[in-house]
Amino acid sequence: MASVTYEHVTKKFSADTTAVDDLSLSIKDTEFMVLVGPSGCGKSTALRMLAGLEDITAGQIKIDDQVVNEMPPRDRDVAMVFQSYALYPHMTVFDNMAFGLKMRGSSRTEMDSRVKEAARILRLDQLLARKPRQLSGGQRQRVALGRAIVRQPRAFLLDEPLSNLDAMLRVQTRIELQKMHQRLGTTFIYVTHDQVEAMTMGDRIAVMKDGVLQQVAPPREIYDEPVNMYVAGFIGSPRMNFLPVTITDHQAKASGLELKLPKAPGVARGILGIRPEHFLPNVSADDAVIDLKVEVLEVLGADQYLYGKVGSDELIARVDPQLKVSVDDHVRLGINMRRLHLFDPETEQAVF
């Protein structure tokens, strides 16, 4: 069990490729922290620096209060689960899981009891004598987790551990990982590009882009109060609608709508952010109203998405699937003013 601190950490692979740029992040003991962002945003590099697999160009990484910059991986007492699982193909499941203990010179009986215990938790008891190539994708993934668990490390580092599983198994394993986190009470640092994984699993989420940390907050806060257009667009599916507006005092005017902002932002131009799920089917007199010309509609059973135009701006709205709509219809929808966002078009930072 340990806390992890990144202090102004930078990683350059060459003079002009910066993978991680001045990252400062502190992860509390027993926290489940998710690093999320598109591929190439530096999230994996940040994790690999913590594991000791990459050198740190500048800054410091601390585990508890100890600076680990120069410490070899074997002394950091962290365990890592790789996207490829990196199972040793020539060893049995038992030997794969016992490897870390063996390298540290644990006794045979201790290895035996710890591996058996982990195998029981992960339902691998019947497979201990198998080789990785005789296992299914889901079983391999559990062996990779088991190899980390038996070590009883100070922190678990997980690098996209679910991305090689099929959709069903991914949801299932996601839930099992959360249970495991609760049971083990250890710090988890989890890297993913999948915002659903981030939202569902993280105690807090760190959103990264181009090596730069954008925002760190609990899932609800990230969703409700994104600090900039990037975070607002990355978290949430379908993504938030962005409408350029001109502003005079309280009035904001887009190509096909006009509304009264809850407070005067003090800027002349802005970008309105409205999530597709924040449109209201029932329009009352004082709500802002849009008139959506529907171009495509998708019915998903529990949801219905309308893709269309308001004036000259593209827009997506999530509505009740019972609502009878056809292509080319004009649909009047209200806007939930309490969930409205406004961004500065120059800096892309949130105004509110």
Partner 1 sequence: MGTAIKADAVAPWHRRRVRIYDREAPLGYLLLVPTLLILGIFLLYPFLFGIWLSITDSELGNLGNFIGLGNYRFEWRNTDGVFYTAVANTFLYTGVTTVFKLALGLVMALLLNQAFPFRRFVRAALLLPYIIPTVLSYEAWRWMFDPTFSVINWLLVNTHLVAYPGPNWLGVPANAMAALMIVNVWRGTPFYAIAFLAGIQVIPLDLYEAARVDGATRWQQFTNITLPMLRPVLLVVLLLSTILTFADFQGPFVLTNGAPYNSTQLLSIWAYQWGIPGGAIGLGAAISLVLFPLLTLVVAGVLFMLRRPE
Closest approach of partner 1 to the CB of residue 109, in Å: 19
Closest approach of partner 1 to the CB of residue 251, in Å: 57
Phi (first) and psi of residue 105, to 5 degrees: 70, 35
Give the number of other CB atoms < 10 A from CB of residue 53. 13
E strands within the chain?
4-14, 17-27, 32-36, 58-63, 66-67, 78-81, 155-159, 187-192, 204-209, 212-217, 241-248, 251-253, 258-260, 269-274, 279-280, 289-299, 304-310, 313-319, 330-335, 341-343
Question: Would you say how long the chain is, in residues?
Answer: 352
Q: Which residues bind partner 1 (CB under 8 A)?
A: 51-53, 72-74, 78-80, 82, 84, 86, 88-91, 99-100, 103-104, 147, 151
The rounded distance, in Å, linking the Cα atoms of 219 and 44 is 20
Q: Which is nearer to partner 1, 44 or 173 (CB)?
A: 44
**Tokens at 315, concatenated:** 């827009």
The rounded distance, in Å, linking the Cα atoms of 258 and 250 is 11
Closest approach of partner 1 to the CB of residue 28, in Å: 22
Closest approach of partner 1 to the CB of residue 78, in Å: 7
In which element (H, E) is residue 44 found?
A: helix 43-51
**Tokens at 62, concatenated:** 């601390």
Closest approach of partner 1 to the CB of residue 229, in Å: 35
Q: Which is nearer to partner 1, 42 or 273 (CB)?
A: 42
